Amino acid sequence: MITGAAGFLGSHLSDRFIKEGYEVIGMDNLLTGSLSNIEHLFPLKEFTFYHHDVSKFVHVPGELDYILHFASPASPIDYLQMPIQTLKVGSLGTHNLLGLALSKKARILVASTSEVYGDPQVHPQTEDYWGHVNPIGPRGVYDEAKRFQEAITMAYHNYHGLETRIVRIFNTFGPRMRLNDGRALPAFLSQAIKGEDITVFGDGQQTRSFCYVDDLVEGIYRLLMSDYHEPVNIGNPDEITIEDFAEEVVELIGSSSKIINLPLPEDDPKRRRPDITRAKSILDWEPKVSRSEGLRHTCEYFKKELAHN
């Protein structure tokens, strides 16, 4: 079962598990996701969709081998607009799914995030860094929900002996990202394709590291199949400043867009780069798709979507 199946990552995971020969139950309440991401799966007998809010009691009939909990508002625009749902799906939703995993004797993998490190004082971020989060800042609703999610997942592992996996996902991009979810990468791509100004927040010296979705899905698949229950960072360590990234996008698209600077939002993390030593040694995983190749695929998707809108 994959929660958040109609979202960006959940839909790619559904594709991957069906390709591997599994039967997939996709569960989503369509809060931020879209059925268009999974409509190609509806004709398949291997795919079943449940329209359900996982913050409420979750029941599915029959056996389950694996649960992947990916339901949650994920971009700053979404979780700032839906602070309570974000806190509930990370806490109550995770609790419901851990209970389901226990009753079905299923292994559960939960989607955590680099945001558990907050605005990090350690660089690059290793899994044993405890983070630097403002619990009552605007981003606290997401960061703390995910930190609670990790805590209760470890508690179920330690207390009940449940088979659990925790992936800390760093910024990921690819087709089926929403075009206007407030994150830099989709914003820049949409703006460059439309020839609008590219809006860089602050002086653009903050950094991000972008992982292509196929690489992330491979890392998650390997982690689920591994016997490792501690958190694992999955992301691309190729770090770039937002200003350089804006220039890269303009060049890639061949756009006439100008780059302009806007005020930096509160608590915006200054640096982000995963240390992936653990993923390399335990999962024999590292990203294979370069940013430029990933951007080309994503750009094709964005052009098609923008033409329809």
Ligand X SMILES: NC(=O)c1ccc[n+]([C@@H]2O[C@H](COP(=O)([O-])OP(=O)(O)OC[C@H]3O[C@@H](n4cnc5c(N)ncnc54)[C@H](O)[C@@H]3O)[C@@H](O)[C@H]2O)c1
Active site residues: 142
Nearer to ligand X, 6 or 41 (CB): 6
Shortest distance (Å) from residue 110 CB to ligand X? 8
Nearer to ligand X, 112 or 191 (CB): 112
**Site residues, ligand X (CB under 6 A):** 3-4, 6-10, 28-33, 53-55, 70-74, 89, 93, 111, 113, 169, 171-172
Shortest distance (Å) from residue 247 CB to ligand X? 22
Shortest distance (Å) from residue 257 CB to ligand X? 23
Shortest distance (Å) from residue 258 CB to ligand X? 27
Nearer to ligand X, 89 or 259 (CB): 89
**3-state SS string over the chain?**
CEECCCCHHHHHHHHHHHHCCCCEEEEECCCCCCHHHCHHHCCCCCEEEEECCCCCCCCCCCCCCEEEECCCCCCHHHHHHCHHHHHHHHHHHHHHHHHHHHHHCCEEEEEEEHHHHECCCCCCECCCCCCECCCCCCCHHHHHHHHHHHHHHHHHHHHHCCCEEEEEECCEECCCCCCCCCCHHHHHHHHHHHCCCEEEECCCCCEEECEEHHHHHHHHHHHHHCCCCCCEEECCCCEEEHHHHHHHHHHHHCCCCCEEEECCCCCCCCCCCECCHHHHHHHCCCCCCCHHHHHHHHHHHHHHHHHHC
Nearer to ligand X, 55 or 207 (CB): 55
Shortest distance (Å) from residue 30 CB to ligand X? 5
Nearer to ligand X, 73 or 231 (CB): 73
